Amino acid sequence: MSYLELQNVTKEFPGVIALNDVTFDVQDGEFFVLLGPTGAGKTTTLRIVAGLIKQNEGSVLFDDHPVDDFPPAERDVALVFQQYSLYPTMSVYDNLAFPLRSPMRKLPEDQIRTKVEGTAKTLRIEHLMDRKTANLSGGEMQRVSIGRAIVRDTRIFLMDEPLSNLDFKLREALRVELQHLQKTQGSTTLFVTHDQIEALTMADRIAVLNRGRIIQIGTPEDIYDRPATTFVAQLVGSPRINLVKSQREDGSLLIENSDLHLPMPPDCEVPQEVLLGIRPEDVDIVPEGEFSGQVALTEPLGVETVVHIRSQDQTLVSLMPGLMDFRTGDEIKFNILHDRLHCFDLDGKRVQIK
């Protein structure tokens, strides 16, 4: 049982407020992701939880007990960093066994062997046991780092962008491994990343952080389908959400600089001027579509095609499955899926369309 809670945590560095009144909790067995751009305060949060730095205000609780006065070693957390910190001259086996041989634990060697071998099997690194870590590839090294963190039965895993230094294909593969591991072991995990795909694909819940403040906490579906602000809406999803200024005009919304009138439900309460968010997959190019435009550009990605559609001076990006054989300048028809529209006021806050 391990449960983590941050209560009103604030951290100031000279001249900057790195964290401003941050409150969230990570449930037992949950994969919790802190997502945000560089400088959002993600790593600071993680380091406070680990006890590597101390907050100015607020409290960190493990299983309902404050740990604010505990040094890192007594917090019983396992850290995995972006830079793998392995002992280069030791074998993979000895690197994995290292935390178990520490004076605090001093397990008998036969128990260590059982644990190390079990961990190596889970991470598919059994064949590397006798190799020196200096001779491993980046992906293998990061697997060993993760192995060293999971080999002891830690209460909480803290991971700071562990996949960022790997190339794309490895990142993809390790993402799946990490998720499988966490789900099958049920370990409580706090994972920090700036990569929206990592957050969406692995998290049970995501906290979006910007400039030291939490903007939204929710499941990946919440964050993607009901972003609380334009910042969140633009942070997740690729290609990025279309965000266009729109005006109410008798019962419809007119997208600025275009001739696109979106019908609105009669009793809805949206302001006169709004920012309309339209996900690219909700712009559906079909022969009998209700809107028309010209193709400005197509980007064939194989599995899908990104089509940039122009209406007067406005451009909307559409994401269509498969191949779309259009040329620049082609006239096309399309629908905008009304029930999937996102509405924000001019300050960027979500407005519920009733």
Partner 1 sequence: MFLFLGNYSKESYTLAEKYMATIELQQVEKKFGELHAVKPMDLTINDGEFVVLLGPSGCGKTTTLRMISGLETVTSGTILLGDRNVTWLHPSERDVAFVFQFYALYPHISARENISFPLRAQRESKEVIDQRVKEVAALLRIEHLLNQRPGNLSGGDQQRVALARALVRRPEAFLMDEPLGALDADFRESMRAEIKQLHIDQHATTVYVTHDQIEAMAMGDRIVVMSEAEIQQAGSPIDIYFDPANLFVAKFIGSPGMNLVSADYTQGVVSIPGTENRYPIPDGWRSPIDESVGGEGKIVLGFRPESAQLMAEGPLSGEVYASELQGAYSVLHVNVNTDDIVHIRTDRKIDYPIGTIVHFDINPQMVRFFNPETEAGIKKEVSQ
Q: Footprint of partner 1 on this chain (CB under 8 A)? A: 37, 167-169, 172, 175-176, 179-180, 183-184, 195-197, 200-202, 220-221, 224, 234, 236-240, 279-281, 296-297, 299-303, 306, 308, 319, 321-323, 328
Residues in Cβ contact with 322 at an 8 Å cutoff, skipping those fewer than 6 apart:
303, 304, 305
Q: Closer to partner 1 at the Cβ: 95 or 188?
A: 188
Question: Rounded to the nearest 5°, which phi and psi values hold at 34?
Answer: -95, 115
In whole angstroms, the minimum distance from the beta carbon of 134 to partner 1 comes to 19
Q: Report the 10 Å Cβ neighbour count for 302.
A: 7
Q: Closer to partner 1 at the Cβ: 1 or 303?
A: 303
Q: Closer to partner 1 at the Cβ: 152 or 279?
A: 279
Q: Closer to partner 1 at the Cβ: 167 or 273?
A: 167
Helices (H), the chain: 42-50, 72-75, 92-97, 109-122, 138-150, 168-185, 196-202, 220-225, 230-235
Nearest to 46 by CA among 290, 209, 258: 209
Q: Closer to partner 1 at the Cβ: 256 or 281?
A: 281
In whole angstroms, the minimum distance from the beta carbon of 319 to partner 1 comes to 7
Rounded distance between C-alpha atoms, residue 195 and residue 161, angstroms: 9
The SS3 of residue 185 is: helix
In whole angstroms, the minimum distance from the beta carbon of 179 to partner 1 comes to 5
Q: Closer to partner 1 at the Cβ: 67 or 324?
A: 324
CA 12 to chain centroid: 25
* DSSP track, 134-169: GGS-HHHHHHHHHHHHHSS--SEEEEESTTTTS-HH
CA 272 to chain centroid: 33
CA angle 348–352–354, rounded 5-degree value: 155
In whole angstroms, the minimum distance from the beta carbon of 153 to partner 1 comes to 21
94 near 75, Cβ under 8 Å? no
Q: Closer to partner 1 at the Cβ: 55 or 318?
A: 318
Q: Can you give the length of the chain in residues? A: 354
Q: Closer to partner 1 at the Cβ: 104 or 176?
A: 176
